[in-house]
Amino acid sequence: MARPPSSSIDEFRSRMRGEVLRPGDRGYDQARTIWNAMIDRRPAIVARCAGVADVQQSIRFGRDHGLAIAIRGGGHNIAGNAVCDDGLMIDLSPMRSVRVDPRRRWAYVEPGATLRDLDHETQAFALATPLGINSTTGVAGLTLGGGFGWLSRKHGLTADNLVAADVVTADGRLVRASADDNRDLFWAIRGGGGNFGVVTLFEFALHEVGPEVLAGLIVFPGAQARAVLDRHRGFAELAPDELTVWAVLRKAPPLPFLPAEAHGSDVLVLALCYAGEIAQGQRLIEPIRGFGRPLGEHVGPMPFTAWQQAFDPLLTPGARNYWKSHNFTELQDGLLDILVEYAGRVPTSACEVFVGQMGGHTGRMPADSAAYPHRDARFVLNVHGRWDSPLEDERGIAWARALFEKTTPFATGGVYINFMTADETERVSAAYGSNYERLVQVKDKYDPENVFHLNQNIRPSVTEKVPVGRKGDQG
């Protein structure tokens, strides 16, 4: 791909309110660095957008010069599509404002905001919308792929709570997407990822939450994991929407409430959140302690914002990460056996196997209510391979893939697009499931030339573009 001449870049810079960075510029390396250190790509140009006008200019510039266009929100996506080689990276991270209208219970969120930014503003009014479990994740990518976390069983996906969005489409137009405007686009961006345009504003419905919730961790020895998981699945079936319990198999971090001799040993962590009346929650969670003989626990009322950041220390940026994910309608015996077996031989102490609990409100929405189709998924498995050195890639990836293969017979075949790695292009249609054909129609209308193809790509039926811009991957 030919790079644009310096004179064109200078002219582009003069049309922008935000910075335009090239290799060697101060801030360039920081801008191209994303959460997953396995992704190491070098865009020809980074457009650090300050607003809608900058996004419009950037799309025009990228198209005029035939550049691949990558869109960066929070930069967390495991596949690394936020950054490309040689092309143009539209970096939205400078656009981080969040405005809350407490009376209307409505939040206006720019696309560079993180979950922490949004929770911080909404919780000032004891309000929230469902988000993910790691506060440094970007609201943008999370929402566009679906988005689930501690409030989803009660209030649905993040995307289910999106009420409107501003989108700059491939032709540079700013359009509104909502139940009243461009309904096809509004449907598509709630699970269809970054395929249809650059979202410059998200508007969310808010709910009363906290400011304190009952939450925390109950940690069991690895030797009891299989028996505890058995009890957990029955309990999960009957849990009210307010209660969410995720199971995490890993080596014990050095948590102060665990005996020192347990640090580094195999454990099963049940992480729970009850988003309702605290005393009622205390009664409901009491049986969990009896699932086995816990090594320790840290459970109690805590600020919702604190719980939303509880996993941040284990999920810091800069490590090499490789994920594999499945959806399940139930946790069968054979599946639990495999999870425990593979958790017992994690290649590094930062690797983990987690089973997130879905269902509740999220599962009651029709599969075609939004582009996100996996309403049948009651549990989501993420095999999280994580390490520091490229020398560990081969062993770590082999472990994650083997666990994924072994558990495939128990899975629905669907997969959450936000948990897909770069090497899973063959799973794209499974990720959009029964909504795929309808998404192609919306793609044909809003992006017929596939300008936005650096994503879990929905190819337009009219034009097909060979994805470019990923050559610098490691691993």
Q: Give the interface with ligand FAD as residue ranges (CB under 6 A).
A: 35, 71-78, 81-82, 92, 111, 132-134, 137-138, 140-142, 144-145, 147-149, 193-194, 198-199, 315, 418, 455
CA nearest to 152, candidates 112, 108, 207: 207
Which residue number, 38 or 302, has a Cβ lying nearer to ligand FAD?
38
C-alpha 350/C-alpha 37 separation (Å) is 14
Which residue number, 239 or 262, has a Cβ lying nearer to ligand FAD?
239
Which residue number, 280 or 309, has a Cβ lying nearer to ligand FAD?
309
Considering the complex, what minimum distance in angstroms separates the CB of residue 185 from ligand FAD? 12
SS3 284: helix
- 237: Cβ–Cβ under 8 A, 6 or more apart, which residues? none
Which residue number, 61 or 291, has a Cβ lying nearer to ligand FAD?
61
Considering the complex, what minimum distance in angstroms separates the CB of residue 333 from ligand FAD? 27
CA nearest to 191, candidates 354, 418, 347, 407: 418
- 459: Cβ–Cβ under 8 A, 6 or more apart, which residues? 440, 443, 450, 453
Q: Is the omega angle on the peptide bond into residue 253 within 30 degrees of 0, that is, cis? A: no
Which residue number, 82 or 338, has a Cβ lying nearer to ligand FAD?
82
The string of DSSP codes covering 168-182 is E-TTS-EEEEESSS-
Considering the complex, what minimum distance in angstroms separates the CB of residue 58 from ligand FAD? 12
Task: Give me the numbers of helices (H) and strands (E) for the chain, helices first please.
Answer: 15, 18
Considering the complex, what minimum distance in angstroms separates the CB of residue 418 from ligand FAD? 4
- 156: Cβ–Cβ under 8 A, 6 or more apart, which residues? 130, 361, 362, 365
Which residue number, 74 or 294, has a Cβ lying nearer to ligand FAD?
74
Are 119 and 77 spatial neighbours (Cβ–Cβ below 8 Å)? no
Considering the complex, what minimum distance in angstroms separates the CB of residue 188 from ligand FAD? 11
Considering the complex, what minimum distance in angstroms separates the CB of residue 73 from ligand FAD? 3
CA nearest to 134, candidates 317, 281, 397: 317
SS3 322: strand
Considering the complex, what minimum distance in angstroms separates the CB of residue 146 from ligand FAD? 6
309-341 residues labelled b (16+ CB within 10 A) or e (exposed): bbbeeebeeebbbbbbbbbbeebeeebbebbbe
Output the residue with the shortest Cβ distance to ligand FAD. Answer: 141
Which residue number, 72 or 294, has a Cβ lying nearer to ligand FAD?
72
Task: Kindly list the distances between the CA atom of residue 139 and the CA atoms of 95, 97, 135, 162, in Å, as whole numbers in the listed order.
Answer: 12, 12, 9, 11
Which residue number, 199 or 440, has a Cβ lying nearer to ligand FAD?
199
Task: Kindly list the distances between the CA atom of residue 454 and the CA atoms of 23, 29, 113, 147, 222, in Å, as whole numbers in the listed order.
Answer: 20, 20, 21, 19, 40
Which residue number, 262 or 457, has a Cβ lying nearer to ligand FAD?
457
- 348: Cβ–Cβ under 8 A, 6 or more apart, which residues? 385, 386, 387, 392, 396
Segments of 42-184 assigned E as strands: 45-48, 69-72, 88-91, 98-101, 106-109, 127-128, 162-168, 174-178
Which residue number, 71 or 295, has a Cβ lying nearer to ligand FAD?
71
Considering the complex, what minimum distance in angstroms separates the CB of residue 199 from ligand FAD? 4
Which residue number, 199 or 353, has a Cβ lying nearer to ligand FAD?
199
Considering the complex, what minimum distance in angstroms separates the CB of residue 397 from ligand FAD? 17
Considering the complex, what minimum distance in angstroms separates the CB of residue 417 from ligand FAD? 8
Task: Kindly list the distances between the CA atom of residue 334 and the CA atoms of 4, 173, 230, 331, in Å, as whole numbers in the listed order.
Answer: 56, 52, 11, 8
- Chain centroid to Cα 420, Å, comes to 10
Euclidean distance between the first and the last CA atom of the chain, given in angstroms as a whole number: 24
Which residue number, 36 or 435, has a Cβ lying nearer to ligand FAD?
36
Considering the complex, what minimum distance in angstroms separates the CB of residue 111 from ligand FAD? 3
Considering the complex, what minimum distance in angstroms separates the CB of residue 467 from ligand FAD? 12
